[in-house]
Amino acid sequence: MEMRIRTGLLAAGIAVGVAACGGSSSNGNSAASPATSHSPAALTAQEAKSLAAAAILRAADMPGYTAKPGTHDASDASSEAAEQRCLGLPPQQFRARDFGTMFTKGDLEVDSSADVASSVQDARQQLAAITGSKAKACLKQTIDALVHSSGGTVRSFSAQLVPVTIADADAAFAYRLSVQAAFNGQAVTIGGYEVGTLVGPVEVDTQSNGTAPLAQTLAQIEHLAQISTTRERAAQHAAGIAA
């Protein structure tokens, strides 16, 4: 992931809402810079790709869910570019991106993805921005555009930073999100969580979304983020990137 709330977080929930109507810093982790014996710039393309893949949740982690590959299309890229501009940042550069896996059960969706930033400094800049003073307004702008493109209007929006502690992460954040939108005059409320962690140059993203009340707690999504983060840390140790 890029260290930001992605539009995909609520896209599935909005799609469910349209059908039903007929019509990304509060954290418990230190942000101290890790000492590295192998810099991101020194990684080969294959090494960076492997590091991104290491963080992705697996089917065995999500019993009872249907798994399919994550997607990233032109509209996602456009939304990311708009978010960067809103946050006052240039487009982020990556050594590798893994759009991961989407797990679904009913109208609940859990997404797992990871990106290898061009540098630890760049990744930390992203994390600071998405937990900074501009983040909520930029996120609302993105959600407004997403709902509008689906034929609806936003009636209310909430994005709340909530405390989260993820072992093996250099830094972490979590958002609790809620959107009430109207489609064809009918209201639907969509809820979601995003937990983002930073492990060296790798940005790990775990998201959960669906129509409210959400059939998953913050503790559950935090647990899944912990699995991904621990695997990522182990992969970096094996690659010679020391914490």
Task: Report, as an integer, the average pLDDT of 58-69.
Answer: 96
* pLDDT on residue 174: 95
* pLDDT on residue 22: 47
Q: Which helix (H) or strand (E) holds 157?
A: strand 152-161
Closest CA to 224 of 240, 238, 208: 208
63 band by pLDDT with thresholds 50, 70 and 90? very high
15 band by pLDDT with thresholds 50, 70 and 90? low
* pLDDT on residue 72: 86
Q: Can you list the domains of the chain with their CATH numbers?
A: 8-238 (3.40.1000)
**Residues β-bridged to residue 190:** 179, 211
**pLDDT 10s digits, 155-173:** 999 999 999 999 999 999 9
**pLDDT 10s digits, 87-114:** 999 998 999 999 999 999 988 999 999 9
**pLDDT 10s digits, 199-243:** 999 999 999 988 888 888 999 999 999 999 999 999 999 988 754
